[in-house]
Structure 1
Amino acid sequence: MALQGVIDRLKKTSLEEIGVSFSLADILRDMKIEGNSIYIKLFSPSDKYHDFLKKKAEQVLREIGAENVDIEFTNEPPKATAPQTPPPQAQQNPFENKRRIPKVKKVIAVASGKGGVGKSTVAVNLAAALKRMGYDVGYLDADMYGPSGPTMLGAKDKQVLAREDGKLIPPVAHGIKMMSIGLLLPSEDTPVIWRGPVLFKALSQFLFDIDWAEDQLDFLIIDLPPGTGDVQITLGQTAEIDGAVIVTTPQDVALIDVKKGIQMFNEVMIPVIGIVENMSYFVCPDSGKRYEIFGKSRTEEVAKQYNTEILGKVPIEPKVAEFGDLGIPVVLAKEDSESSKAFMSIAERIIKKLTV
């Protein structure tokens, strides 16, 4: 089997099914051919797609005559040269090819390892807190499959305008410039049924084709979908993010996913600013007594274990959900509430960490 013929075949094998724009040859790190036996080493910073990549590579190599295929993975960046391969070009680590989002000074991603922890509530109120402090703020709802930003910011009837050059002009809600796929759908009941490549293109447009400001935004809050999937990987590959905030509840089942989230951001080279513990406790309005409904928190232990910190703890207050349904962040609707004070404190700590 000819070495160059194998490389040419790998170049023609795209990986668009998982929402990335490179081929098997782009992630090839080593290869050895002995008769009809082939050994290859592929770059992959996460084991999420190992099964897919292995099946894809085996199928391609067997189609060109390989009888024995051995595949190994590595998370190390590419070397300058590869044994036995006459590299036509220096291979790049796809996670290092990033660019700044136009007209934005600081970009903060708000994420959660699992759903149901109030991530969007934190993201929206963090944007509102920064706005209350006098900053120019944008909010990008990157949860393509479950956009809640338009509801929580009272922007369901807002229209997105487009310039002649194709750039999108985001509407404004409560002084916050915001963009969401929910603003572009025929109705809020319309589901988004997209595969990886379409999702990748839409997210790229949201990141780089929005005219956020005449001058510059001070902060852009990106509300990510829960989990560690395609959107997070795409973000890590394409955009320079100044830091990520991970939202959790005190439950152990949520903290397990916090660990996964921290490791995922480390792999895509996005620094973790800290953890926000949402629904941390409940204060009875009649007695003033504090109740830890989800049990004693272990978030501090996780933060120390992964060399980060707790940015703040947000209590359970019915007004947060009530105002969210009305489209008004509690930070703006009830400034004297415990939740509002917690969000303001969290915003202050984030600013200090980003300006150190």
Structure 2
Amino acid sequence: MSSADLQAVNAALDAVIDPNLEQTLAELDVPREVRLEGARALVELTLGYPAGRDDTLAKRIRDSLLVVEGINEVDVDLGWQIVAHPAANSAMAVPGVKNIIAVASGKGGVGKSTTAANIALALSAEGARVGVLDADIYGPSQPQMLGVGQQRPQIVGEGKAQQMIPIEAHGLQTISMGYLVTEQTPMVWRGPMVSGALKQLLTQTRWDDVDYLIIDMPPGTGDIALTLSQSVPVTGAVVVTTPQDIALLDAQKGIEMFRKVNVPVLGVVENMAIHVCSECGHKEHIFGEGGGNRIAEEYDSALLGALPLAMSIRKQADGGEPSVVACPDSAESGEYFAIARRLAARLWQANNQAEPVTVFEVD
């Protein structure tokens, strides 16, 4: 083939739209290698986020190149390379962690912890190395949701050099205050003690080359949220809400808090968006409709996805096998996978636009 044909292939490739960011490959400046062998095009792309289970982009590339004159076969090899946020590169506040994502909510009861667990499991299934830190010191729920039970983390080192080895759960590296106390032990602590406990969980855990550390935040905008946001390089935040007006008001406060401490909100997840009757299939928006999309538009963010009010999600989380593990091919799990890919893609985009920052400690 002539060089003009290679130019035509690259031009067609430039126009392909990434399904998770709705931008062209040219706009995203995705690294590529294109070779031609007769009428066969071989394309290798390196994304900045994992997409091991989804073939939407590969299919779009094939469809686009097969209309190029002289091309009748297309091989697509999609790889990815997850890099650390510039702030983490400069500060190294949490060794062994490339990117920190806070999953937050303005109020309790909106499904934040269930969402955090399923997002983490989805990112892992897509091919990333993922850690989960349960930052809800007063009410840790990840040990139950991830089926860890009464395990205790191994302690290595001595004195100030002591570290905890994360407990593995469904392929995730996990740490939680729930591993260090019994289920019946209430944490009757004031704010400074809670903030200190969070810092210890972050910095005294031996994370092993984690691409994404998902932090399950406590509800609200109190001490833990402020400590986390201002003492470590948080790459971005995800805000979980229901469509209910009261929940949206609290979600707005959470978004405003992250904006005040210069943490980008990567997107909004609308939980309990719709209920489908298991008997007759009737669909009903019990808590309202479209609230997550409205708040995302108001704050120039994105609606990462909307999840149904489904008994299966609750049962699977309570049983220690969240939906993505228990039923990876279900419609609910499919939505979690889509949310995880969009989140990782937007984080990649944010990293490309970010500048190294100085992380400061909160007294």
| TM-score, scaled to structure 2 | 0.69
| CA deviation after TM superposition for structure 1 residue 296, in Å | 2.3
Question: Retained in 1: the 8 A contact 2:273–2:288?
Answer: no
Q: Deviation at 1:153? A: 0.3
SS in 1 for 2:108: coil
1:178 is aligned, of 157, 174, 181, to 174
The answer for the alignment partner of 2:288 in structure 1 is 295
CA distance in 2, matches of 1:251, 1:270: 25
Rounded Cα–Cα distance in structure 1 between residues aligned with 2:338 and 2:93: 27
- Offset, 1:99: 5.1
Residue in 2 that maps onto 1:226: 219
Is residue 338 of structure 1 aligned with residue 331 of structure 2? Answer: yes
Unaligned runs of 5+ in 1: 1-96
1:277 aligns with 2:270: yes
Distance 1:263 1:98, change over 3 A: farther
Displacement of 1:157? 2.1
Aligned to 2:347: 354
Which of 126, 132, 135 lines up with 2:125 in the alignment?
Answer: 132
- Amino acid of the residue matched to residue 253 of structure 2? K
Q: 1:167 is matched with which residue?
A: 163
- How far is the alpha carbon of 1:285 from its aligned partner? 3.2
The residue number in structure 2 matching 1:111 is 104
Residue 36 of structure 2 corresponds to none
Given residue 203 of structure 2, which amino acid in structure 1 is its aligned partner? Answer: F
Alignment of 1:133-282 (within 5 A): 133-164=126-157, 165-185=161-181, 187-213=182-208, 216-282=209-275
Q: Which runs of 4+ in 1 moved over 6 A?
A: none
Taking the aligned partners of 2:293 and 2:322, their CA distance within structure 1 comes to: 27
Q: Distance in 2 between matches of 1:241 and 1:192?
A: 25
Aligned to 1:323: 316
Mark the structure with the bigger radius of gyration. Answer: 1
**Aligned residue for 1:62?**
none
Specify the alignment match of 1:13 in structure 2. none
Query: What is the CA-CA distance between 1:98 and the residue it aligns to?
Result: 6.7
The one-letter amino acid of 1:199's match is V
**Following TM superposition, by how much is the alpha carbon of 1:220 offset from its aligned partner in structure 2, in angstroms?**
0.6
SS at match of 1:158: coil
For structure 2, the residue ranges without an aligned partner over 5 or more in a row are: 1-89, 350-363
Equivalent pair of 2:102/2:236 in contact (CA under 8 Å): yes
How far, CA to CA, are the matches of 2:255 and 2:300 in structure 1?
10
Aligned length: 257
8 Å contact kept, 1:98–1:238: no
1:194 and 1:327 map into 2 onto residues whose CA distance is 28
Q: SS of the counterpart of 2:250?
A: helix
CA distance in 2, matches of 1:272, 1:114: 17
- 1:179 maps to a residue whose letter is I
